[in-house]
Amino acid sequence: MGRKRAPRTATAPVDASLAGPVAGLHATDTGTAELVPDGDNPHGWLLMLNGVQSSHVDLADPLRLEFEYMRWIMALVQDRWPPEAKLRTLSLGGAACSMPRFLVAAYPGSRNVVVEIDGKLAALVRDWFGLPRAPLLKIRVGEARQVTESLTAGSRDLIIRDVFAGATTPHALTTAEFTAAAKNVLSPGGVYVVNCGDSPALATARREAATIAAAFAHTAIIADPPMLKGRRSGNIIIAGSDAPLGGGAGLPRALLRGAMPARLWDDAQVRQFGHSSVVLTDAAG
């Protein structure tokens, strides 16, 4: 879920075998992918999946992220690790691989794995955007939970969950059982970050906050004030770790610099936010 708006033009199905970005509607294994040129940036492309804005890529600058929530996640990451860190990252939900491209550029020593359920989409994205190859950026086709549960304990420093079916994350990727599996894959002090899409009622975000808080010693939330006050639908970033998150003034300052300023909630605020909500489980929605 993003908030970037790009000009829409009438499109028709195109030959997806052509290399490089090709504007238009493309068939994938799970529906359609529409590639729309960014009218404000000659190097920019917006990816729509089944009619929903999913990703934006700047071919000239992998460090440019148009979606606010992606900038917030990367601000959290950069607050946690210096550029020389040899990060091992797992991105659940690939789409155009905007954040993994950023991680490759920001952390040249990193090794990044993306899990994407749609094999055709993964092939298209590699063709269109010239993604770095393994071991810098590997795309693994598969279902996010199955792949996560198959990974070696302690083998990742950062896990980013950004998986949507339409406007919601599949229930199986939100539960205490899945969160425990993700935590098992993290190294000591590793960080689990989720992009939670929600309505103004914030019921989903509260339950996700409760679930992540039950699994990790430290939590944080990042979102813009209108979202936190329940005034609109949008994205809330929730993070969990067994090491403190966002200490000091650096991250709050970074979050205020964007086009949509965001707030950082500390562990106490996150736990208060989710305290009356029931932890999500496999057995009950």
The 8 Å CB, 24+ separation contacts for 164-167 are 164/1, 164/52, 164/54, 164/93, 164/197, 166/50, 166/52, 167/1, 167/52, 167/197
> How high is the pLDDT of residue 285?
63
Burial class (CB in 10 A: 0-12, 13-18, 19+), 172: middle
Report in angstroms the alpha-carbon separations of 126 from 32, 94, 96, 129, 135: 16, 11, 8, 6, 14
All structural domains of the chain with their residue ranges: 68-274
* Three-state SS at 201: coil
Over residues 229-282, the pLDDT tens digits come to: 999 999 999 999 999 999 889 999 999 988 899 999 999 999 999 999 999 999
> How high is the pLDDT of residue 284?
82
> How high is the pLDDT of residue 258?
83
Instruction: Report how far residue 25's alpha carbon sits from residue 32's, in angstroms, rounded to the nearest whole number.
Output: 7
Helix (H) or strand (E) holding 45: strand 44-49
> How high is the pLDDT of residue 170?
97
DSSP tag of 196: E
| 280, 175 contact by CB (below 8 A) | yes
Instruction: Report how far residue 204's alpha carbon sits from residue 195's, in angstroms, rounded to the nearest whole number.
Output: 11
Mean pLDDT taken over the chain:
93
Instruction: Report how far residue 185's alpha carbon sits from residue 124's, in angstroms, rounded to the nearest whole number.
Output: 29
DSSP assignment of 54-107 = EEEEETT-TT---SHHHHHHHHHHHHHS-TT---EEEEE--TT-HHHHHHHHH-
- Length of the chain, in residues: 285
Over residues 50-106, the pLDDT tens digits come to: 999 999 999 999 999 999 999 999 999 999 999 999 999 999 999 999 999 999 999
- Out of 3.40.630.30, 3.40.50.2300, 1.25.50.10, 3.40.50.150, the CATH code matching 68-274 is 3.40.50.150
Smallest CA-to-CA distance from 132 within 163, 160, 117, 111 is with 111
> How high is the pLDDT of residue 13?
37
Instruction: Report how far residue 201's alpha carbon sits from residue 198's, in angstroms, rounded to the nearest whole number.
Output: 8
Over residues 13-65, the pLDDT tens digits come to: 333 444 689 999 999 999 999 999 999 999 999 999 999 999 999 999 999 99
* Three-state SS at 42: coil
Helix (H) or strand (E) holding 256: helix 250-256
pTM of the entire predicted model:
0.93
**Phi, psi of 157, rounded to the nearest 5 degrees:** -95, -25
DSSP tag of 249: S
Over residues 112-135, the pLDDT tens digits come to: 999 999 999 999 999 999 999 999
Helix (H) or strand (E) holding 238: strand 234-241
Helix (H) or strand (E) holding 223: strand 218-223
C-beta neighbour count of 133 within 10 angstroms: 10
> Please, which pLDDT band fits residue 167 given cuts at 50, 70 and 90?
confident
* Three-state SS at 127: helix
Instruction: Report how far residue 23's alpha carbon sits from residue 30's, in angstroms, rounded to the nearest whole number.
Output: 19
Summarize the confidence of residues 217-221 as an average pLDDT.
98
